[in-house]
Structure 1
Amino acid sequence: MAVLNHFSACRWTLDQVRAGITGQFAGLAALYGREAKQDRLLEKEWTNALAWTQKTTRRSTRRRNAFINDTSHPEPTGGAAGSASKAGIRQLVNDAENIFYAVLDDRLKRLGREGHHLRFTLRQILGFARANDTELVEVGCRSLALGLGKHHGTVARQLPRLVALSDGLLTKVADARHKRADVYLLQLPEKYEQLARELAWKKGKIHGIRYVFRALGDHSALVYECIERSRHSPTNADIIRATGISRSAVEKAVNEMAALCMIHREEGRWRITATTNLTQLAARLGVIDDVQAQISLHRHQRAVWHAYLDRFTVQAISEEDLYDQDKDEYWMPPPDGDPASDYAVAFQAA
């Protein structure tokens, strides 16, 4: 861990560490012993090293900027330690979104049904990072499940799988503790930086699963997004190539959405019907009631969990607990020249 912490502080990447193990840092591989053990532990320990480096960087910055004595010259702090500007975070999210659509989305769609779920989960995380202007995504499984229309247990099983398949785009840096959720770091791997600069940013929002697609299904959501984000109105063949969905599933999805006036066809190409409000359509299909039921369930589950945690919380004693306002505890000393001694008065008062 000391070696990995050093590499992390030097801003190495996991790919550089793996390359170094097979080269000039072969002694690090010897510490793991077997290669299977190295493959199993290296990624987990590298994540712990990233979290440790981030925490110690903030501490060392505070110590370095402290005055040694009154004659010490102040040093510029450079702003908050380890924080990026909003413009930088938006650029990071835009680049990560481009890499996701150009590389990872194509890989995940080959995993079949599991891949569809992982694609939507990563979309939801990217949307959360964009909405909150942060590269540190601290969001619970229930919050993700609400945006995906899934059970929170399903999301909890998918997140470790997504981190493993994200190719360094998403890294878990802190485990959930008490009322805090897991923390994930969104970053752009070094090997994708050149590709991210060459790709143009696409307009439009990135979504998890919008409410209406809880009723229509994941295939319809992918087909609608393909039509919505395409530079040119796609045909059925274009949608099949872009989404990785079978021809029968694509035809079923477009026919169903066309019947609901969500899309329309012009000269063999599909276009979005801008006059159709998806939220109102979701209400017509009865999805809003399901969403409200899920929100109520999550609130109840959180209340039960917080009540369980509060049982182990030591309650602080306030001043009101020690002092009774209705009871007169003030003792008036005797006036000057009173023949009664202070000790006698004190004794009688007691």
Structure 2
Amino acid sequence: MSGCYPGLAALFGSKADRLLEKEFARAVSYTKKNTAKGGSSKSAHINDTSLPTSSQGGHVARSSAAAVQQLANDIENVLFAVFDQRLIKNYGRESAGLRLLFRAVLGYMRTTGRDVLDMGCRTFAAATGKHQSTVARLLPVLVSASEGILVKVADAKGRNADVYLVQLPEQYRQLARDLSWRKGKIYGLRPIFRRLGDTAALVYEAIERSRFSPTTAGIIKMTGYSRTAVDNALASLAALDLVHRSRRQWLITAGANLTALARRLGALDDFEEQVARHRRERAIWQAWLDRHSTRVQERDIYDPERDEYWLPPGQDWGWQHLHEIA
């Protein structure tokens, strides 16, 4: 009743409390009886990784945790192989925010173990170091640019945020199979990079997630940034001993502690302050909803003692009859 489909419960109106439990019990009984007979419905699937299609055309059922992790691995391959360069080409400066938001989506997908995400803009804002209004502007752009990978399946209502489905369209499945999965985890914007910037975050990721230790030229190719921007980012990272150079290749410094460094630079305080502010804003919004939300009763919609229709006069009526009535 408070999940992705509050409209289904609303169909029962004021009788929801009495009818939902009864109808659910009948559905369970029917399913058990059908299974005992060896029958199957059209929505049955071979295994738990297949996604049933909803009446709106989108896949909304939850996959198993293992299937979600595999799906995230496949989408990461497509992201690094195709979408990073496409976003850079089509969206210019805005591409950095879109790329980090895409990574935040996959990061939350891994953390929650779900391919259906009901995260609000403030949650993604904390994960990307952006303002929630910026995230609200970037999310529809990312949905359009992802070509079916990120699909909005339900609008926000009351306490519920927008609901998004993460999936791998058919046109990218062969590419995902051909590429081996990358080591490590994917992140949005870790707190330390609130101080160092988006460019440094993507340069660090290029070194951290690369299949081989990259050269400066390789980092430029992977990130799509100019030579000057990459050199400046590498200098900032090297100054904090986050990366180091061995011959011509760049490597992650094994002993570097990003969390401790973020706290020392004050970046972790910024993150915690943003999270605390979001909690206060949610509390204010929920309190407003509690004050203004009222349960609609059946009598508010229909009064049986009041006629809600008017029959037009027959053909034997004339204008004088209507005048007399008036």
User: Deviation digits for residues 107-137 of structure 1, max 9, x if unmatched?
Assistant: 0122221011000001000010111111101
Matches within 5 A, 1:1-350: 63=27, 66=30, 73=37, 82-110=61-89, 111-314=91-294
Aligned counterparts of 1:188 and 1:170: Cα–Cα separation in 2: 9
1:239 aligned counterpart, secondary structure: helix
Q: 2:305 corresponds to which residue?
A: none
The residue type equivalent to 2:251 in the other structure is R
Check whether the contact 1:135–1:187 (CA below 8 A) recurs between aligned residues. Answer: yes
The residue type equivalent to 1:107 in the other structure is R
Aligned counterparts of 1:312 and 1:221: Cα–Cα separation in 2: 43
1:184 aligned counterpart, secondary structure: strand
Aligned counterparts of 1:176 and 1:290: Cα–Cα separation in 2: 27
Deviates more, 1:273-282 or 1:81-90: 81-90
**1:180–1:67 distance in 2 versus 1, CA, 3 Å:** closer
Check whether the contact 1:65–1:75 (CA below 8 A) recurs between aligned residues. Answer: no
Aligned counterparts of 1:160 and 1:126: Cα–Cα separation in 2: 16
Q: How big is the shift at 1:312?
A: 2.7
**1:262–1:176 distance in 2 versus 1, CA, 3 Å:** same
2:276 aligned counterpart, secondary structure: helix
RMSD: 2.7
User: Deviation digits for residues 146-189 of structure 1, max 9, x if unmatched?
Assistant: 01111000000000000000011110000011111111000111
Q: How big is the shift at 1:83?
A: 3.5
Check whether the contact 2:262–2:268 (CA below 8 A) recurs between aligned residues. Answer: yes
Q: 2:13 corresponds to which residue?
A: none
The residue type equivalent to 2:76 in the other structure is E
Check whether the contact 2:206–2:222 (CA below 8 A) recurs between aligned residues. Answer: yes
Q: How big is the shift at 1:75?
A: 5.2
Q: How big is the shift at 1:284?
A: 1.1
Structure 1 residues not aligned, in runs of 5+? 1-50, 53-58, 316-350
TM-score, scaled relative to structure 1: 0.68
- What is the identity percentage for the equivalent residue pairs of Structure 1 and Structure 2? 49
**1:257–1:83 distance in 2 versus 1, CA, 3 Å:** closer
Aligned counterparts of 1:66 and 1:122: Cα–Cα separation in 2: 41
Check whether the contact 1:67–1:74 (CA below 8 A) recurs between aligned residues. Answer: no
1:156 aligned counterpart, secondary structure: helix
2:185 aligned counterpart, secondary structure: coil
Q: How big is the shift at 1:68?
A: 11
Structure 2 residues not aligned, in runs of 5+? 1-6, 9-22, 53-60, 296-326
Aligned counterparts of 1:121 and 1:67: Cα–Cα separation in 2: 41
Check whether the contact 2:62–2:116 (CA below 8 A) recurs between aligned residues. Answer: no
Q: How big is the shift at 1:302?
A: 0.5
Check whether the contact 1:235–1:269 (CA below 8 A) recurs between aligned residues. Answer: yes
**1:64–1:296 distance in 2 versus 1, CA, 3 Å:** closer
Aligned counterparts of 1:239 and 1:67: Cα–Cα separation in 2: 55
Check whether the contact 2:193–2:201 (CA below 8 A) recurs between aligned residues. Answer: yes
Aligned counterparts of 2:65 and 2:129: Cα–Cα separation in 1: 29
Check whether the contact 2:62–2:115 (CA below 8 A) recurs between aligned residues. Answer: no
Paired positions, count: 257
The residue type equivalent to 2:262 in the other structure is A
1:108 aligned counterpart, secondary structure: helix
Q: Which structure has the larger Rg over C-alpha atoms?
A: 1
TM-score, scaled relative to structure 2: 0.73
